[in-house]
Amino acid sequence: MPDINECQICGDPAPPIPGQCDGVAGYRLIRDPWSELPSFLDGNIHFSCLEASEKRTQFHDEFTRMVQAGHEEIQSLDNSPPPLTRMGLGMTQIFSGSTCSVFQSNVSDRWMIIKRTGPWVRLQLEDLLEIGRSRKPRSPAEVVTYRLPLDVKGDIGAYSLPELLNALGVANKYTPADELADVDYEFVDYYPPKRILEYMARAPLVIPEEARFFLADYIEEYTPVSFDDEERA
Ligand SMILES: [Zn+2]
């Protein structure tokens, strides 16, 4: 089984970048359709590998079910009782189109777009407001902690994002260098003994057109659920 920092489909290094590479945590108990032995997915996935995979529909269907589920019972890997219990994301589908579906959290201002080909995009309230203004949302300025699965020569702190992906040998798994230039990549820290890299990658979130049209209308009528809670907290 690949390391969680490697793509669970191709086995190559897979630093997360919103819209291009993301992870599925093992405790979500999603069956790994790419593993030869029965196992649950635990780690990152290049979206280019996902879209190219003949098993993408199998993954899409189970991922979509988990996103909508609350607590639910899942068969153990060898089908022996008792069943396992997983915690889904408890989201509700609010849009279903030909290329994607949109899901909304029942408890906070969070949304997820899942493309029929497998990849997903996470959205927050400010992203929907940007869509409502006909602007392109960007992923949040969050620090990602990523353990490089292999040694990289050179001064990692000085690398641009395309240089980092080249050094890891995975530039072809992400969008071409001219599109990567739209990602605001910022090196934060590197701890060589454990090859732990910290970085921020604010990427333009590519929203399928039908979802963009839907969300632009939807946000006009939407009442945020978490403002009051945050103020009280
Ligand atoms: Zn891959």
Buried b (16+ CB within 10 A) or exposed e, 101-113: bbbbbeeebbbbb
Q: How long a stretch of residues is the chain? A: 233
pLDDT at 233: 44
User: What is the reported pLDDT for 230?
Assistant: 52
Q: Who's near 211: CB < 8 A, 6+ residues apart?
A: 95, 97, 99, 100, 102, 113
CA distances from 24 to 9, 88, 135, 177, 213 (A): 12, 12, 29, 26, 28
Would you state the pLDDT for residue 153? 85
* CA 177–ligand 1 middle distance (angstroms): 17
Distance from residue 21's CA to the centre of ligand 1 (Å)? 9
Residue pair 16/23 in contact by the 8 Å Cβ criterion: yes
Distance 193 CA to ligand 1 centre (A): 25
Distance 196 CA to ligand 1 centre (A): 20
Q: 52 CA to middle of ligand 1, Å?
A: 10
Q: Is the pLDDT of residue 226 over 70?
A: no
- Model confidence at 229: pLDDT above 70: no
Ligand 1 centroid to Cα of residue 7, in Å, is 4
Ligand 1 centroid distance, CA of 233 (Å): 41
**pTM attached to this predicted model:** 0.91
The answer on pLDDT for 53 being more than 90 is: yes
- DSSP H/E element including 190: strand 184-191
Question: Could you say which DSSP state residue 26 is in?
Answer: G
| pLDDT at residue number 144 | 96
State in Å: Cα 221 to ligand 1 middle.
Answer: 39
Between the CA of 55 and the centroid of ligand 1 the distance, in Å, is 13
Higher pLDDT, 231 or 161: 161
Distance between Cα 56 and ligand 1 center (Å): 13
**CA 16 / ligand 1 centre spacing (Å):** 11
Residues 6+ apart with CB under 8 A from 122: 18, 110, 111, 112, 139
Average pLDDT, the chain: 93
pLDDT of amino acid 225: 84
Six-digit token string for 93: 């589908």
Phi, psi for 65 (deg, rounded to 5): -70, -45
Any idea what DSSP says for residue 219?
Answer: H
Provide the total of helices (H) and of strands (E) in the chain, helices listed first.
7, 11
**pLDDT tens readout for residues 60-118:** 999 999 999 988 888 888 888 888 898 899 999 999 999 999 999 988 999 999 999 99
* Distance of CA 48 from the midpoint of ligand 1 (Å): 7
- pLDDT tens per residue, range 116-173: 999 999 999 999 999 999 999 999 999 999 999 999 988 999 999 999 999 999 999 9
Ligand 1 centroid to Cα of residue 53, in Å, is 10
Distance, CA 13 to ligand 1 centroid (Å)? 8
| Mean pLDDT, range 201-217, rounded to an integer | 96
Ordered by start, the domain boundaries in the chain are 143-202
Distance CA 75, CA 85 (A): 9
Contact 106, 90 (CB under 8 A): yes
Grouping H, G, I as helix, E, B as strand and the rest as coil, residue 226 is: coil
